[in-house]
Amino acid sequence: MNFQSADQFVDAIVEKLKAARRKTVEDASNRDMFYAVSAIVKERINSAWVETQTIYKQKKVRQIYYLSMEFLIGRLLESNLLNCGLLDICNEALTALGFQPKEVYAAEHDAGLGNGGLGRLAACFLDSMASLQFPGHGCGIRYRYGLFEQRIIQGNQIELPDYWLKEEYPWETRKDEEAVEVQFGGEVEMLTKIDGSLEFRYHNTDKVMAVPYDIAVVGYHNKTINTLRLWSAESPDFEQNISSQGGAKYYHELEHQHSIEQISGFLYPDDSVYEGKLLRLKQQYFLVAASLKSILSSFKKNYRLPLTQLQEKVVVQINDTHPSLAIPEFMRILMDEERFGWDDAWKMTQQVFAYTNHTTLSEALEKWPVEMMKQLLPRIYMIIHEMNERFCKNIWFDHPELRDELPGLAIIADNQIHMARMAVIGSFSVNGVARIHTDILKNQEMKHFYTLFPDRFRNKTNGITHRRWLLQVNPRLAGLVSDTIGKKWVKQPSKLISLLRYSKDASFLNKIDDVKKHNKQLLSSFIYTKTGIMTDPASIFDVQIKRLHEYKRQLLNIFHVIHLYNELKDNPAMNVVPRTFIFGAKAAPSYHLAKEIIKLINQTAFIINNDKTISEKLKVVFLENYNVSLAEHIIPAADISEQISTASKEASGTGNMKMMMNGAITLGTLDGANIEIKALVGEKNMFIFGLTAEEVLYYYQHGGYVARDIYEVDERVRRILDQLNDGAFGSQEMEFKDIYYNILSHNDPYFVLKDFDSYIEAHELVEQAYRDRNTWLSMSVTNIAYSGKFSSDRTIQEYASEIWRVRPIKGWKFLI
Ligand SMILES: *Cc1c(COP(=O)(O)O)cnc(C)c1O
């Protein structure tokens, strides 16, 4: 059904409400409306989905599979409407029916199947692949519980389960007929056949059924629909087993079923901290085994080509090492099931897989104990072992200069399996996610691998979909941009650069100012509704929203806030530009120090917001449960984007890109993609401070930094640290002693004190710049203008031409 007008859409909604919800408009809730509109959109999507699949099959196109343990897709109704070209009509129709469109869209539960940046990147990539008409699909896990929901109670983070499937999820389609079996454990028997070849048989394995749930990924105005396939773990022939067994066996069977379902039970709530747990390893293997089985079977069924051509038609991108077991699993299938020899299988494997590295933080580099791998995946372990033997022999004989380095290169060392090393060795491409990050990989972390395989390494700076992060979340800014430079930027975001011509145009700057003011008013009332805190839209909205981690240095931010507060208390007449500091951050539930920092932010906020003497000048807001939807509320209203990680630690960051695109100015260190932002806008259009990555790495290697020296010399710092202990921001003394000792006894591992002075100075420059309206607005416009480079469309085009070697299927009349 094509909708020409809002009237037609109104009719469709009224019908759907009756048919699917048994409701009239009068007794429909926002949620009923959400389901009705979703059903209408889903029907539209389904027919285009079938068409896209048919074309892929007919043309036997080369397909991309993006394997990821996380897809942080957020809500889908509004972005699906936008991409289908129905958003305006739907907004009009809902309004005509007496509903607030935003409230209807907010009835959708966020799909929080990711921790943060890595999972959100996967979601942006899916959007860009479909919008650019690349045949690219996601493979992930349908966790029954997504990332925990955060509540703040008396300053403390409390975690609640996120049961996002409680009410029906309208975007998924269960595909029973495409379920596959995955095997764990058991024993491996090796037989030598008459012809001398080896055969491997598995005995006593635990069998798990992987059932796919497919979600449509809708391209922007192009009728291309790709697939995000999420796997759910179920017990095979559970009903059969249960009905044929009585008594105690019945309960045993139920327990067994429960343990199987645990595999897709919940998302591990760790970000940047590697968590080595048996269940997590099961999840990883479950994802790769099910995905590869389904990729191979659709290749065989749809393409009818010999398996030896698979690498021409399939490329698999591995999102960090979490899905890197795909490499030995693919070897296993080729050898044990398809009867390839090692060499042929290895050659193929190395043509299929490409690996993205996301971090150089050593605590985040995945390693699994040999014993655990052997027990859970005996055949996979044998293959990893053989990969390692062959690799080590090759180094020993062909690269004698690297013999001493073997312990740092081998896949298996110290009884541990080093997943990043395996991923590098088993794939044809290794990429970092921003220039500096790739340079650190090539020249430090993986320098020997880089000498061994120089052609394998490349950079792919991350990106974000400008459709969600500008068109959808900031319609006023998007509209103003289109009115000013035309609409071409929507399909070609690099065209945003045309805005530069208006960066000194007074009337345009006024309009930019109006848009930001409006967005700040909206956020201000949102904050009031959520927290009861009154904020002034005329104040500087200074925003830090991201996972809570020591290296991201929310601590440095709150130290600055405390410093400002101290100054205002000392000198109440001080003339300052009013500031509103906005935080959003979840800490991993077991990350004690991170939770203490959350508490410090909240307690500081409580003291400051309730201090009548300064209430006009300073406000601190911690918005609980930071997720995609909350990001969508905050980002359009940000003036300052805090990107203050310890240099060298943040691989890329993508929050920095989202805020830049919405006209916020970056206050940051020379880290991750901040460096590339600076290369574009220049240092006049952002606020840079702090140690460089080189300096940080120098201190780590050679020492020479003593945090206590700064504490002794800098009164401002001493006062803040002492306040942590004397109860100024707590309900008791020593409440924040772990933060205190981390800095003074553990020598401030993330250089908070070292960068403090430079950070304060940068904030003073922020204030000066903000006082000069036109300068500020012109900086803001310059940032928007250059942000096109950070559209994930650019990133995906680079992956497509330089790694995947696929072309868009544009121009096929069927799809246009
Ligand atoms: C973009 C995004 C992130 C990543 O933010 P960084 O600042 O790059 O760490 C994390 N969580 C959510 C919900 C996001 O939308």
Q: What is the pLDDT of residue 272?
A: 78
Pocket mutation for ligand 1, best pick of 547, 551, 643 (most atoms within 8 Å of C-beta): 547
d(CA 142, CA 111): 10
Instruction: Please state the rounded mean pLDDT for residues 677-701.
Output: 97
Residues in the chain: 816
- The C-alpha R_g of the chain, in whole angstroms, comes to 27
Nearest CA to ligand 1 atom 11: 116
| Bridge partners of residue 319, in order along the sequence | 356
Q: Which atom of ligand 1 has the smallest separation from the CA of 658?
A: 1
Fold of 493-692+754-790: Rossmann fold (3.40.50)
Ligand 1 atom with least separation from CA of 626: 13
**How much distance in Å is there from the Cα of 272 to the middle of ligand 1?**
13
Atom of ligand 1 minimally distant from the CA of 654: 8
Which of 120, 465, 642, 656, when mutated, tests ligand 1's pocket best, judged by the most ligand atoms within 8 Å of its CB?
Answer: 120
Q: Which residue has the tokens 């609640």?
A: 160
Which protein residue has the closest C-alpha to ligand 1 atom 6? Answer: 655
Mean pLDDT value across the chain: 96
Q: Residue 243 — very low, low, confident or very high, per pLDDT cuts 50/70/90?
A: low
- How many Å lie between the centroid of ligand 1 and the Cα of residue 146? 16
Tell me: pLDDT of 598 over 90.
yes
The residues facing 213 across adjacent strands are: 174, 230
Q: Where are the beta strands (DSSP E) in 659-812?
A: 665-668, 687-688
C-alpha distance across the termini of the chain, in Å: 17
Of the pLDDT bands very low, low, confident and very high (cuts 50, 70, 90), residue 242 is low
Task: List pLDDT tens digits, range 429-465.
Answer: 999 999 999 999 999 999 999 999 999 999 999 999 9
**Least confident window among 27-41, 74-88, 552-566, 728-742:** 728-742
| Residue 182: strand pairing partners | 208
**b/e sequence 515-547, b meaning 16+ C-beta within 10 Å:** bbeebbebbbebbeeebebebbbebbbbbbbbb
Task: Evaluate whether the domain defined by 60-75+110-462+799-804 bears CATH number 3.40.50.2000.
Answer: yes
CA of 655 relative to ligand 1 center, distance in Å: 5
Which residue in this structure is represented by tokens 């991309």? 64
Residue from 666, 673, 564, 660 nearest 620 by CA: 564
**pLDDT (0 to 100) of residue 815:** 40
pLDDT for 252 equals 84
Please classify residue 206 by burial: count the beta carbons closer than 10 Å to its beta carbon, then call 0-12 exposed, 13-18 middle and 19+ buried.
middle
Q: For 94-111, what is the mean pLDDT?
A: 98
pLDDT (0 to 100) of residue 303? 96
Span 549-569, average pLDDT: 98
> Would you say residue 811 has pLDDT above 70?
no
Quick one: what percent of the chain has pLDDT higher than 90?
92
3-state DSSP call for residue 461? coil
Residue 273 pLDDT greater than 90, yes or no: no
Cα-based angle 495, 499, 501 (whole degrees, multiple of 5): 120
How many helices (DSSP H) and strands (DSSP E) are in the chain? 33, 25
- Between the CA of 195 and the centroid of ligand 1 the distance, in Å, is 56
Residue 340 alpha carbon to ligand 1 centre in Å:
43
User: Same topology for domains 60-75+110-462+799-804 and 493-692+754-790, yes or no?
Assistant: yes
Three-state secondary structure call for residue 542? strand
Shortest-distance Cα residue to atom 1 of ligand 1: 655
User: Rounded distance, CA 411 to CA 418, Å?
Assistant: 5
Dist CA 503 CA 774 (whole Å): 9
Q: What is the pLDDT of residues 645-668, one digit of tens each?
A: 999 999 999 999 999 999 999 999
Amino acid occupying residue 364? A
Ligand 1 centre distance from Cα of residue 546 (Å):
5
Q: Concatenate the DSSP letters of all residues of 4-19 into one string.
A: -SHHHHHHHHHHHHHH
Q: Which atom of ligand 1 is nearest to the CA of 630?
A: 13
| CA 432 to ligand 1 centroid distance, Å | 18
Partners of residue 687 on adjacent β-strands: 667
- Residues forming beta bridges with residue 367, ordered by sequence position: 418
CB-based burial of residue 661 (10 Å sphere; 0-12 exposed, 13-18 middle, 19+ buried)? Answer: buried
Report which protein residue has its CA nearest ligand 1's atom 15: 628
**Ranges of each domain in the chain:** 60-75+110-462+799-804, 493-692+754-790
* Residue 197 pLDDT: 87
Which pLDDT value is given to residue 814?
Answer: 43
Atom of ligand 1 nearest to the CA of 117: 4
| CA–CA gap between residue 772 and residue 536 (Å, rounded) | 18
Residue 227 has pLDDT above 50, yes or no: yes
pLDDT in tens, 31-85: 999 999 999 999 999 999 999 999 999 999 999 999 999 999 999 999 999 999 9
Distance CA 697, CA 710 (A): 20
Residue ranges lining ligand 1, Cβ < 6 Å: 116-117, 120, 546-547, 627-628, 631, 653-655, 658
Instruction: Identify which of 72, 623, 624 to mutate to test ligand 1's pocket (most ligand atoms within 8 A of the CB).
Output: 72
DSSP 260-294: HHGGGTB----SSS----HHHHHHHHHHHHHHHHH
Choice from 150, 465, 654, 657 to test ligand 1 binding pocket (greatest atom count within 8 A of CB)? 654
Tell me how far CA of residue 267 lies from CA of 116, 233, 249, 270, 489, in angstroms.
Answer: 12, 13, 30, 9, 37
H or E element, residue 618: strand 618-622
Q: Which residues participate in catalysis according to the annotation?
A: 358, 546-547, 552, 654, 658
Question: 501 CA distance to ligand 1 centroid (A)?
Answer: 31
φ, ψ dihedrals at 599, nearest 5°: -65, -40
CA-nearest residue, atom 4 of ligand 1: 117
Residue 346: pLDDT over 80: yes
Which ligand 1 atom is at minimum distance from the Cα of 627?
13
Tell me whether residue 192 is exposed, middle or buried, using C-beta atoms within 10 angstroms of its C-beta: 0 to 12, 13 to 18, 19 or more.
exposed
The predicted structure's pLDDT at residue 616: 87
How large is the average pLDDT for residues 271-283?
Answer: 89
Q: Round to whole Å and give the CA distance between 59 and 313.
A: 11
